[in-house]
Amino acid sequence: MATVLIIGASRGIGLATLDAALKAGFSVRALSRSASTIRLHNPKLEKMDGDAIDRDTIERALVGVDTVIQTLGVTPAPELILRGTHLFSAATRVLVRTMEASGVRRLICVTGLGAGDSRGRGGILYNTALCLFLGRVYADKDVQERIIRKSRLDWTIVRPTILTNGPHTGAYRVLVDPNDWTSGFISRADVADFLVKQIDDNSLFHRTPALTG
């Protein structure tokens, strides 16, 4: 089975994906600044502390890897609303360049509904809230998506709607057609389920599915 690198694996979607990938039998390398604090233990799990923006770290993390799942996130805070972030674009620029140089081709990246060409597709309330509170953050996700789209990688960009801490249900919808994109709620566990299924599935190469419950 494939060896999977999960970037941003210590919390949120990343941690849920780590758990799901191990349960599916994959070998997983978990990269995060605080990977050593992850409480999961498994012979197929390697924890790697490191910065996703550091090229040397990414080069080491990619050794022996077949698939990369990037699940970066930021902690909500007032300064994000005012100043935004460059984490997503900076880390993705390093990752894409290093993957292309190393020959690792499969990239599954989580952004969100409202990024890229899905902007304005979530309905009035969703779009307004996104603009007011996360507009600057999503501006960087726009750049992140452009970097991936211009790459030579076998990429899939995954855009979940509003995230919850609910259980895995398997009852989520995968919206590939832009005409179907709409807001909703989906658990991090269901997003993780979808991400793990993409490891061995090439049907959504160069596609940007939205996920909702």
Residue 120, pLDDT > 90, answer no
Distances (CA, A) of 13 to 8, 108, 111, 158, 194: 8, 13, 11, 12, 11
Spell out the residues 6+ positions from residue 176 whose beta carbon is closer than 8 angstroms to its own.
204, 207, 209
101 CB-side CA count, 13 A: 13
**pLDDT tens-digit map of 36-90:** 999 999 999 999 999 999 999 999 999 999 999 999 988 777 776 667 789 999 9
How many domains does the structure of the chain reveal?
A: 1
The mean per-residue pLDDT over the stretch 139-156 comes to 97
Query: What CATH number corresponds to the domain at position 203?
Result: 3.40.50.720
Burial class (CB in 10 A: 0-12, 13-18, 19+), 132: exposed
Residue 1 is predicted with a pLDDT of 76
Cα→Cα distances 1→18, 20, 28, 92, 147, Å:
15, 14, 11, 25, 28
State mean pLDDT over 192-204.
98
What is the distance between the alpha carbons of residues 15 and 39, in angstroms, rounded to a whole number?
10
Evaluate if residue 163 carries a pLDDT over 70.
Answer: yes
The least confident of 86-90, 117-121, 140-144, 190-194 is 117-121
pLDDT at 80: 65
Q: φ and ψ at 59, to 5 degrees?
A: -60, -45
Phi, psi angle pair for 38, to nearest 5°: -60, 130
Q: Phi then psi for 206, rounded to 5 degrees?
A: 60, 35
Domain that residue 192 falls in:
3-212
The angle subtended at Cα 93 by Cα 70 and Cα 24, nearest 5°, is: 15
